[in-house]
A and B are shown apart, each in its own frame.
Chain A
Amino acid sequence: MYTHYKKVVKHIKDYYELYILVLPAVIIILLFNYIPMYGVQIAFREFDPSKGFVGGEFVGLKYFTKFINSFQFTDLIKNTFFLSFYSILAGFPVPIILALFINQIKKAKAKKFIQTVSYMPHFISVIVLVGMLSIFLSPSSGIVGHVYRSFGLDPINFMGATKYFRSIYVLSDIWQHSGWNSIIYIAALSAIDPTLYEAAEVDGANRWQKLIMIDIPSLVPTIIILLILNSGNIMNIGFEKVYLMQNSMNLPVSEVISTYVYKIGIMSNQISYASAIGLFNTMINFVFLVFVNFISKKTSDISLW
């Protein structure tokens, strides 16, 4: 015990500076993220404002059970999961590929131009994006409709088709955010030691081979960490975009957990229930993250902790 204690003391003496470096962030997170965590209780209590925020009666898993037994439970989980999984699956590789190619552009001005252009859509607000989707995809008046008609085909009402909803959602996300998401990869690529390229040149590698042998491996740590982080979002589908895209025709696939909670909240203030649903959602995310992190640690030695 004593030797262990001595070790700890020595460690802190040697590394005290690192502790100082990390201190500000720890304080902020402790004060403003951990202190409020007492609020998580609300999912297990009957919200009663007269007793203080978390003073209500303890009801255990009442609201979790309510959610699991609710009529739409399976649909909500299914819709949320599929949309999210599809988003991650399709959306994850694009920024990487984009970064790899942009990195290959030789002319500095062109490179700058393409980069700037590619991330501009990121700033378009969701309201406008969905508005534009409606306009472009309108079978009667949108661009897509015109293209179909010019081929002599009957235009499809994309916004109303359950089988296209997820694709439209995901593809528009990819269009909107890939440029922005590629920035981190571009930064990672810029840190590659140029002598590696020189050595490869000497070995007779062409551009394609350089990309595969040097660029991609250098991105691997970043890719893996981001993949782990993304898997922690497996059940997170933000409310706004889906809500705006919903209509009577695509509802079977477009009703997700966040829109459901919103709709209940319009007519009633079920704070405990909403909180329980949120916590349920979060638990799934966290379990997934821990799992993926574990696998990653075992296979590649890269992990969050």
Chain B
Amino acid sequence: MRKKSILISTVLTLLILATILAGCSGTNSVPGNGDAKGSTKGQDVSSESVSLRVIAITHAWTKDLDEIPMFNKLNEEIGVNITWEQVRSGWDEKKNTVLASGDVPDAFIGWGINDSDISTFSNVFLPLNGLIDSHAPNITRMFKEQPDTKALATANDGNIYGLPSIIPHRPNSFNIHSINGAWLDELGLETPTTFDEFYNVLKAFKEQDPNKNSKQDEIPFDWAPERGLFTAMSMIGAYGNYAEDFSGDWTSAKDGKFVFLPETEDYKKLVSYLHKLYSEGLINQEVFTQDYSQFQAKSKDPDYQIVGSTMGWSLEDRFGPEYAKDYEVLLPLAAEKGIDPIWPAHPARTKYLNNVAQITTKNKNPETTIKWLDGFYTEEMSAQGYYGSLDLCLEKQGDKYIVLPPQDGMGADEWKWTNALVDAGLMYVSPELDKRIIAPESITQRVDHDALYEPYFPKSADMLPILKFSKDDMNEISIIKTDILKMVDIKWAQWIIEGNVDAEWESYLNQLESMGLSRMKEIYQGYYDKYLGK
């Protein structure tokens, strides 16, 4: 009997030891050799090539980077052997661990690292200024021709840690206010230009059954749930003073002063106006509780057109290819006749990307790495960077680049995201190059629509730039902002639904004050002044 017990206990102990040892022996594969998605695939690995490990945070659609011809070609030219680790989802959860554990790669590419990461983990990222000056002619060219990009890339301490990009065919404004032209025609209405006219049109949409289904199911006006790019806040310019800066924080600037929109008189007036619309059922009653799927689904209901006017990226995005032709771009409304309305725009946010690549302090070959990164910024690589590799997605004809139609049954969007880094990519598409890349119809249409808004854009001086905060200031602001924006969100919804903004305005401002609004403004203004060179 005893022998058996000893036997069992020995077996158990051995088992545990074995499993621990299996781990300790380090025989398991370290990424990048053999079965890892071929770092040598399609490449001629010269004996002198430098090996780099790169983490790429890409869109979930983007295919394995070692299967993208333009990258393989670049790698070969420069003489680097890249081991890619591609993260398509869950990066946010993983990021801090990667950065804090010291388990960092030689470089990061894509949309994974932001200014705050760089400030917090200052020991991880290499300053690139010297390297760029000595080894990166294309990036230097970009900085010279578009100095804004250099400012965007320069951190609070004067160093450059992350590279920026300029992407092609972008509008200046994220948002388009659209209206159902077919319904206007149907009901014999003029396109509204003021708040009062808009009100009347919405009322007609609601009461006169323009979708002809004998049901009062029309939603005259709808916008995206949650604070962001596609909300009614874009209409604050109707009073002729401010426009949001698309930061999602309701910040802005005017005449050198930092502005926090939710404490302005114009905001109060806008909320009152929206309340009037809401109370008469002219706004989607679920505008604050729907989720984004529902928001997008309402405007594409396969049975009937439901939405009269709304906010969004483009007509096609909001209404789908079937209905898009019935809708048109609505020019900015004026609160009253005689005011010149402003429409929000922020080219630095729409056309530039920040922090698309970083080199880490673990990198033993920074010169080669910067040369490699610089290779993405040549004219040819930049043209391919957004739409995909030559001969597959892009065709060169003379000095023009034609975007080829998608294959494999994909839509143009999916095709582009599969074959290129797109909004996560490194490239420099100068305004001049921009004209020579011939984009598909839907993209040019979007840029054309944007041009309609151009006369209404704020002065560039009134667009609050992307400011570079120190780590401590960033920490302080983030806490104040979290508190303030929560209150702002609550009140924005509450006042639009129930009204009563005038009565509560004073105490609301006091509340904001007690949360640290003055301190936040002080910090912002300080950095803004510095930016303006004061």
Interface residues of A (CB under 8 A from B): 17, 20, 23-24, 27, 31, 47, 49-50, 53, 70-72, 130-131, 134-135, 138-140, 157, 159-160, 244, 247-249, 251-252, 255, 260, 263-264, 266-271, 273
> Whole-angstrom distance from the CB of B159 to the nearest CB of chain A?
15
Cβ–Cβ contact A263 & B117, under 8 A = no
Contact A251 B486 (CB under 8 A): yes
B289 with A159: CB separation less than 8 A: yes
| Complex: A208 Cα to B500 Cα, angstroms | 57
Decide: A138 near B294, CB < 8 A? Known: A160-B288, A248-B489: yes
Contact call B291/A264, Cβ cutoff below 8 A = no
Contact residues in B for A27 (Cβ distance below 8 Å): 16, 20
A-B contact pairs, 11 of them (CB 8 A): A20-B8, A130-B291, A138-B290, A140-B285, A248-B489, A248-B492, A249-B494, A251-B490, A267-B478, A268-B471, A271-B100
User: Is B213 in the interface zone, CB < 8 Å from A?
Assistant: no
Is A260 touching B482 in the complex (CB atoms < 8 A)?
Answer: yes
| Contact (Cβ within 8 A) A72 B483 | yes
Among A49, A157, A266, residue most surrounded by chain B Cβ atoms (within 10 Å): A49
Q: How would residues 170 to 184 of chain B score, 1 for a CB under 8 Å from any chain A CB and 0 otherwise?
A: 000000000000000
Please indicate the chain A residues that have their CB under 8 angstroms from the CB of B291 in the complex: 130-131, 134, 244
Contact between chains at B493 and A24 (CB < 8 Å): no
Q: A160 is contacted by which of B100, B227, B289 (Cβ under 8 Å)?
A: B289
- Is there an interface contact between B493 and A134, defined as CB atoms closer than 8 Å? no
> Is A50's CB under 8 angstroms from B123's CB?
yes
Min CB distance, A160 to chain B, in Å? 4
Which of these, B99, B290, B486, B494, contacts A255 with CB under 8 Å? B486
Residues 1-25 of B contacting A (Cβ, < 8 Å): 5, 8-9, 12-13, 15-16, 20
Chain A residue numbers with a CB within 8 Å of B61 are none
B5 A249 Cβ-Cβ under 8 A: no
Residue ID in chain A nearest B469 by CB atoms: A268
Are A50 and B294 in contact (CB-based, < 8 A)? no
Give the residues in chain A near B479, CB-CB below 8 Å.
70, 264
**Cα distance, A270 to B121, chains bound together (Å):** 11
- Proximity bits, B476-509, A CB within 8 Å = 1, else 0: 0111011100100110111001000000000000
Q: A263-B482, A269-B116 are in contact. Are A249 and B16 (CB under 8 A)?
A: no
The CA-CA distance from A272 to B294 in the complex, in Å, is 38
- State whether the Cβ of B397 lies closer than 8 Å to any Cβ in chain A: no
Shortest distance between the CB of A38 and any CB in chain B (Å): 14
Which residues of chain A are near B286, meaning CB under 8 Å? 138-140, 157, 159-160
The smallest C-beta distance from B125 to any residue of chain A, in angstroms, reads 11
- Name the B residues within 8 Å of A249 (CB-CB): 288-289, 490, 493-494, 497
Max count, chain A CB within 10 A of own CB: residue among B101, B475, B516: B475
CB distance from A40 to the nearest CB of B (A): 15
B-side interface residues toward A, CB under 8 Å?
A: 5, 8-9, 12-13, 15-16, 20, 96, 99-102, 116-117, 120-124, 225-227, 285-286, 288-291, 293-294, 471, 474-475, 477-479, 481-483, 486, 489-490, 492-494, 497, 514-516
Minimum distance in angstroms from A121 CB to a CB of chain B: 20
Within the complex, which residue of B9, B124, B225, B478 is in contact with A264, where a contact is CB–CB below 8 Å? B478
Q: Is the interface of A mostly helix, strand, loop or mixed?
A: helix
User: Residue of A at shortest CB range from B99?
Assistant: A49
**Which residues on A sit within 8 Å (CB–CB) of B293?**
131, 134
Please determine whether B477 and A267 come into contact, CB atoms closer than 8 angstroms. yes
- Cα–Cα, bound, A267→B467 (Å): 13
The residues of A that contact B493 with a CB separation of less than 8 Å are 160, 247-249
Contacts of A157 in B (CB 8 A): 285-286, 289
Cα(A244)–Cα(B9), bound, Å:
49
Closest chain B residue to A138, Cβ basis: B286
Q: In the complex, what distance in Å separates the CA atom of A17 from the CA atom of B1?
A: 12
- Chain A positions within 8 Å of B101 at CB level: 53
CB-based nearest B residue for A251: B490
**Contact with B483, one of A23, A71, A140, A273 (Cβ below 8 angstroms):** A71
Pick from B102, B120, B286 the residue with the most CB of A within 10 Å.
Answer: B286
**Cα separation A72 to B117 with both chains bound (whole Å):** 25
In angstroms, Cα B16 to Cα A10, docked, is: 26
Give, as a whole number of angstroms, the nearest-CB distance from B299 to chain A.
Answer: 14
- How far is it, in angstroms, between the C-alpha of A27 and the C-alpha of B122 when the chains are bound? 37
Q: How far is the CA of A68 from the CA of B48 in the complex (A)?
A: 58
Which residues of B are found within 8 Å of A255, using beta-carbon distances? 486
Closest CB-CB distance, A254 to chain B, in whole Å? 10
Question: B285 to A139, Cβ gap below 8 A?
Answer: yes
Asked if A268 and B289 make an inter-chain contact with CB atoms under 8 angstroms apart, the answer reads: no
Supply 16 further A-B pairs (C-beta < 8 A) apart from A49-B124, A135-B294: A20-B13, A23-B13, A49-B102, A49-B120, A53-B100, A71-B483, A72-B486, A131-B291, A140-B285, A159-B289, A160-B289, A244-B291, A267-B116, A267-B478, A268-B478, A269-B96
Contact A268 B475 (CB under 8 A): yes
**Are A264 and B482 within 8 A (Cβ)?**
yes
The reply to whether B9 and A268 form a contact with Cβ atoms under 8 Å apart is no
Q: How far is the CA of A270 from the CA of B289 in the complex (A)?
A: 30
B210–chain A nearest beta-carbon distance, Å: 18
A248 CA / B494 CA spacing, docked (Å): 8
A163 to B493 Cα, complex, angstroms: 16
Q: Is the CB of A247 within 8 A of B494?
A: no
Query: Which A residues are CB-close (under 8 A) to B16?
Result: 23-24, 27
Question: How far is B101's CA from A255's CA once the two chains are assembled, in angstroms?
Answer: 31
Assess whether B490 is in contact with A269, with CB atoms less than 8 Å apart: no
Q: Which of B117, B226, B486, B516 contacts A269 (CB 8 A)?
A: B117
Query: How far is it, in angstroms, between the C-alpha of A208 and the C-alpha of B251 when the chains are bound?
Result: 66
Return chain A residues, CB-CB under 8 Å to B288: 160, 247-249
Q: How far is the CB of B312 from chain A (nearest CB, A)?
A: 19
Neighbouring B residues of A251 by C-beta, 8 Å: 486, 489-490
| Chain A proximity of B30: nearest CB distance (Å) | 21
Q: What is the CB-to-nearest-CB distance from A244 to chain B, in angstroms, rounded to a whole number?
A: 8
* Complex: A47 Cα to B477 Cα, angstroms: 18
User: Which B residue sits closest to A66, measured CB to CB?
Assistant: B479
- Check A20/B9 contact, CB under 8 A, given A49-B121, A271-B96: yes
Complex Cα distance, B513 from A71, in Å, reads 12
**CB distance B225 to A247 under 8 Å?**
yes
Are B116 and A17 closer than 8 Å at their CB atoms?
no
**In whole angstroms, how far apart are the Cα atoms of A122 and B225 in the complex?**
28
Give every chain A residue within 8 A of B475 (Cβ-Cβ). Answer: 268, 270, 273
Known contacts A138-B290, A247-B289: A268-B116 contact under CB 8 Å: yes
The interface residues of chain B lying within 8 Å CB-to-CB of A271 are: 96, 100, 120
Across the interface, name the chain A residue whose C-beta is closest to B117: A269
Closest to B9 in A: A20
Distance in angstroms from A15 CB to nearest chain B CB is: 12
